[in-house]
Structure 1
Amino acid sequence: MKILFTSFLYLIGGFFTQSVAQPARHRAAQDSLTAELEALRVQGHFNGFGVAIVSGKGVLYQQGVGFADAQAGKPYDLHTVQYIASVSKTIVGLALLKAQELGKLHLDDPIDQYLPFKVRNPAFPDVPITLRHLATHTSGIRDNDFYLSKNYYLRPGLPLAGLPMTFDATQTFIPADSAVSLPEFLRNSLTPEGKWYQPKGFSARRPGELYEYSNVGASLAAYVVERACGQPFPAFTKRYLLRPLRLRDSGWSFRQIDFARYSRLYGSTTVPLPYYATTTYPDGGFISSVADLSKYLHELIRGYQGRGTVLGPASYRELFRPQLAAGNFEDRNERNPFSESYNVGILMGFGYTGFIGHTGGDPGVVALLFFDPTSGIGRILLLNTSYDDRPSEATMYQIWNTLEKYQHRVGG
């Protein structure tokens, strides 16, 4: 949901299908890569993680490393599932474009024509907010003070003794019976009569002018898809994305996945977190595995190359078209290769290097998914442990860079 690391990401790799017909040099490179990843894990900064290298041809490499449950000794494997945090927003982008293909909405429609409540920036009450504004983080909607204190709730029926009820100074896990639905949260946060409404939850800039990353805005976009298409957002994405791509491990809630495969999440290697869910689930609550994300990244790469299957060519061109100009940014770092906010497509991030994808971070989750449009190779990293110091951050970089080192050696 929130980006835990604006100081990190990018540099991308390829996709993997282990085949007995692979050349011996590829198998040897894969074995060497696995050994290097295991050596990084035993440094002790992360309990478990999954990685993949993907190309437009298929999966070049994928591997689970370490433990999904360190206390139980349960391995982290290719079908271990966990939250992917803000990488989830890219799925909202595809859903918006699929709904547009179906004639249910248009990106330049005002969102108010689909909502049961009116959302306007109080500084610009006569200026409508459009779906494109939401999809490019230029709506002016900000995450207010209640986003972290009212959004994350505990999964009922599981023991909580000894587990932390806060993740940091602002992020609180609330009881399940205090959770509200996504529409309730949005109404209470975005309308003046709402109990969590704050004027500072909106920018002082006109809608469409300024890029400001917004979790609430992304969740609102998913709710518009739900309203426009007349079916719950999870059902819409299952029909038009998960089933066509055969994403069998994935879903938007614990009910939609095999919970026996769910990874424990950790605040640090020794601090397991309680099982939690989020009210604004579209902005970061997609649950998936490295195996499924490899299929998803394969589709994104093929879509960029004009060979995608879940969207038509015109929709993919829109998804990957940089939507903003320099004037839409107040603080644009043009030298940091690990910033995904140099530009944006339809909820799809771009770095100044040209890499395309998204990063994500939530309690116990670090996620990276990017591809290089020039080489057509992409990389995935899912961690089940938050990093909280320089050494663990450095190890995370080493894992990511090790994938890059091998991306041309593990497959053709």
Structure 2
Amino acid sequence: MSRHYSRPFLTMLTTACATALLTICSPVLALDLDKALRDVASKNRLVGMSAVVVADGSADSVFHYGFSDLDQQRPVNDRTMYRIASISKMATAVAVMKLYEAGKIDLDRDVSDYLGFSLRHPEFAGVPITAKMLLSHTSGLRDGKGYFDFSSGALTPESPFGIRTLLQESGKYFTADMWGSEQPGPFFTYANVNSGVLGTLVEKVSGQRFDLFVKQEILEPLGMDGGFNVYEIEGIENLAVLYRASEPQADRFAGGHPARDFSAYRPGHNGLLFGPQGSLRTSAVSLVRFMKMLMNGGEYDGVRILKPETVALMDGAVWTFNGKNGDSYHNLFHEWGLGPHRITGQKGGDRIFGNLPMVGHAGEAYGLISDMYFNREKGVGVVFITNGLLDSGTFEYGEDSAFYAPEEETFKVVEKYLNLSSRTPRK
């Protein structure tokens, strides 16, 4: 377990605690936060856990618990990298928006024009599929049987079966349930395959492998560790194993580096190879850098990744649930932007800090659950990651939201710690 503060905050601590920051710099409250989060982790029998709280846009409180690798008894710490699951989609969205800013992608243009093959809903062949639809999960695509067959059989650099063989009716991996029954555009259904198409789009437009584009254009400029390609990741010994009931499910490399040759891969052939939907490995501390970049309108520590107006475009509501126009995913999804999940704060649903609106993303895979959400106006945010359960069974749902119990309980602890009712909006 460790606690860290930004340099400006340390300067303030050497003088006196400013009234506006009492909730952060009070030693009593700081110790209470550690104890409360430790209680959450212990009560829910988590293998390991990381949580980072951001207040006033800059000050961090970092918490770690448990083990990243049970066999090696390796404790979770600042260097621990997790496969953050669907939060990865936010990095994919930023990659698309960088190409949008460069004038290389029109969000409302038929993506078939970029992909080099026709992407059409078989029942609505006259309706173009756009990047905006893919980013907002309104494309009509579904994670059908073909998606899972393709993921287990064709995700190798040398595979002759590109992503088009999953998406087109004549393709080897296509199944009818890859598309819903509704017309693309108005109807929302969360689907991982959308990000596979977006990853392929990034490759086609940039001419680079998806993992390398994200590393060069986003991760390295922000000083983030990890990447989308586990075979070329640095610091593999810091990668957390993902567990269900103490049994390893993914990323069990025992500190050794897995090998794979990517020299045969052609960019634009199959972006799903690099897992744009869920395979980004990074630490909680690095993920906060990414979150702060979005909180600060596309800039972090003097490095600009996106323009403020581009971030605002991403954050804006593209789809809003009206009770009939989509699948709310157990009442969790009520609004979506161009990549971000928009939190509306509905009790029993997408509630994090009361009714405070937020943007970000959640993730779940191989026993891991993860969250990254923030409110820009108040300058607050939270990152939560656990690499799984010690006990058998699955995560229980929370009492007041559609999030799982460890997530909801962490949010409640952080909300109390931040004392949101006394916070004034940032200028």
Q: Residue 198 and residue 344 in structure 1: after superposition, are their counterparts in 2 closer, same or farther (change >3 A)?
A: same
Alignment of 1:26-41 (within 5 A): 26-41=26-41
Whether the aligned pair in 2 keeps the contact of 1:50 and 1:290 (CA below 8 Å) is yes
Residue 17 (structure 1) aligns with = 6
Provide, for residues 308-357 of structure 1, a one-character-per-residue CA deviation record: whole Å limited to 9, x for no partner: 821012211211111124569535769x9x72x21111111112232211
Provide, for residues 38-57 of structure 1, a one-character-per-residue CA deviation record: whole Å limited to 9, x for no partner: 23333362110111012453
Provide, for residues 387-406 of structure 1, a one-character-per-residue CA deviation record: whole Å limited to 9, x for no partner: 70438943442223212221
Whether the aligned pair in 2 keeps the contact of 1:225 and 1:233 (CA below 8 Å) is yes
Whether the aligned pair in 1 keeps the contact of 2:134 and 2:195 (CA below 8 Å) is yes
Q: Percent identity?
A: 22
Alignment of 1:170-209 (within 5 A): 179-181=155-157, 184=161, 186-209=163-186
Q: Residue 249 and residue 204 in structure 1: after superposition, are their counterparts in 2 closer, same or farther (change >3 A)?
A: closer
Provide, for residues 352-411 of structure 1, a one-character-per-residue CA deviation record: whole Å limited to 9, x for no partner: 2322111110012101110124422010101100570438943442223212221249x9
Q: Residue 86 and residue 406 in structure 1: after superposition, are their counterparts in 2 closer, same or farther (change >3 A)?
A: same
Residue 367 (structure 1) aligns with = 370
Q: Residue 90 and residue 146 in structure 1: after superposition, are their counterparts in 2 closer, same or farther (change >3 A)?
A: same
Residue 305 (structure 2) aligns with = 310
Provide, for residues 87-122 of structure 1, a one-character-per-residue CA deviation record: whole Å limited to 9, x for no partner: 111111111111011121111121111113221110
Q: Distance in 2 between matches of 1:326 and 1:80?
A: 37
Residue 132 (structure 1) aligns with = 132
Residue 229 (structure 1) aligns with = 206
Whether the aligned pair in 2 keeps the contact of 1:108 and 1:132 (CA below 8 Å) is yes
Q: Distance in 2 between matches of 1:329 and 1:90?
A: 26
Residue 143 (structure 1) aligns with = 143
Residue 319 (structure 2) aligns with = 324
1:404 maps onto 2:415 in alignment: yes
Unpaired segments of 5 or more residues in structure 1? 1-14, 153-173
CA shift for structure 1 position 16: 4.6
TM-score, length basis structure 1: 0.80
> Which 4+ residue blocks in structure 1 deviate beyond 4 angstroms?
18-21, 304-308, 325-329, 331-334
Q: Residue 329 and residue 348 in structure 1: after superposition, are their counterparts in 2 closer, same or farther (change >3 A)?
A: farther
Q: 2:62 aligns to what SS in structure 1?
A: strand
Whether the aligned pair in 2 keeps the contact of 1:55 and 1:301 (CA below 8 Å) is no
Q: Residue 263 and residue 305 in structure 1: after superposition, are their counterparts in 2 closer, same or farther (change >3 A)?
A: closer
Alignment of 1:243-262 (within 5 A): 243-262=220-239
Residue 88 (structure 2) aligns with = 88
Provide, for residues 199-229 of structure 1, a one-character-per-residue CA deviation record: whole Å limited to 9, x for no partner: 2211222221211112101220121011011
Q: Distance in 2 between matches of 1:257 and 1:322?
A: 37
- Which of 273, 277, 288 is residue 282 of structure 2 equivalent to? 288
Q: How many residues end up aligned between the 2 structures?
A: 369
Q: Which amino acid is 2:325 matched to?
A: E
Unpaired segments of 5 or more residues in structure 2? 253-257, 259-271, 346-356, 399-403
Point out which structure has higher relative CO (alpha carbons under 8 A, 6+ apart): 1
Q: Distance in 1 between matches of 2:160 and 2:282?
A: 24
Residue 121 (structure 1) aligns with = 121
Q: Residue 102 and residue 20 in structure 1: after superposition, are their counterparts in 2 closer, same or farther (change >3 A)?
A: closer
Q: Distance in 2 between matches of 1:249 and 1:233?
A: 14
Q: Which amino acid is 2:190 matched to?
A: Y
1:344 maps onto 2:352 in alignment: no
Residue 376 (structure 1) aligns with = 379
Q: Which amino acid is 2:248 matched to?
A: P
Q: Which amino acid is 1:361 matched to?
A: E
CA shift for structure 1 position 251: 4.1
CA shift for structure 1 position 26: 3.3
Q: Residue 360 and residue 391 in structure 1: after superposition, are their counterparts in 2 closer, same or farther (change >3 A)?
A: closer
Provide, for residues 185-208 of structure 1, a one-character-per-residue CA deviation record: whole Å limited to 9, x for no partner: 522210122111112211222221
Provide, for residues 103-160 of structure 1, a one-character-per-residue CA deviation record: whole Å limited to 9, x for no partner: 21111121111113221110011221111111111111111113334425xxxxxxxx
Whether the aligned pair in 1 keeps the contact of 2:369 and 2:387 (CA below 8 Å) is yes
The Cα RMSD (Å) is 3.1
Q: 1:206 aligns to what SS in structure 2?
A: coil
